[in-house]
Amino acid sequence: MAHFDLSLYETVAQRLVRWWIEYPEGRIITSIHHYDGSTIIMRAECYNNDDRLIATGYAEEVFGNSPVNKTSFLENCETSAIGRAISNSRIGHTGERASVSEMDKVNRINSTPRPDSHGSASPKQIAFLKSLVRGKGWDDTQALEFIHRVLQVDDVILETLTGSQATVVIDGLKK
């Protein structure tokens, strides 16, 4: 399995330091966009020194789907939304778009053997799935969040889907 070089990714804390250096009079506002008791979606808004909205970011977390989400899923979601909003701003990010914690999770998932695979997704399924994701204008993180939501699991990535999982995700993307 491929591992990602975490040195190419920033933490949200590093992005916040750059934000406050660039916009010392700016502000960041977060709000809950959706909450149903188990899933939360938050929106972060970044305002520049002139109090003009310059970027937004969304994040979604599911209660209990990771150790941190058993105790702090609201806080985790807010931090992710802030990181994505800063990444969407003019100052963007110095490395890759995803945060180091998001990619660390991918590395852990890639290192875990998957029992019960029932056969890997075919190259044709993966290519079609990627095409559907591109058609929606989604980045890798948005695609991964969708896969996890549709399959109701958080231990797979596109390249580790089974054939039956790929079919479910493809059907979900076509809707």
- What pLDDT sits at residue 118? 56
- What pLDDT sits at residue 149? 85
- What pLDDT sits at residue 4? 54
Contacts of 41 by beta carbon, 8 Å cutoff, 6+ apart? 32, 33, 34, 35, 58, 59, 60, 77
- What pLDDT sits at residue 5? 58
Record the tokens describing residue 36, joined without a space: 């149903």
- What pLDDT sits at residue 137? 87
- What pLDDT sits at residue 8? 63
- Residue range 76-119, pLDDT digits in tens: 999 999 999 999 999 876 554 454 455 454 444 455 444 434 57
- What pLDDT sits at residue 113? 43
Identify the bridge partners of residue 34 per DSSP, sorted by sequence position. Answer: 41
Contact between residue 28 and residue 88 where contact means Cβ atoms under 8 Å apart? no
pTM: 0.54
Please give the Cα distance from 42 to 12 (Å, whole number).
Answer: 15
Q: Where are the chain's structural domains?
A: 1-112, 117-175
- What pLDDT sits at residue 7? 60
Please give the Cα distance from 80 to 68 (Å, whole number).
Answer: 13
Positions in the chain whose pLDDT score sits under 50: 1, 96-97, 99-100, 103, 105-109, 112-117
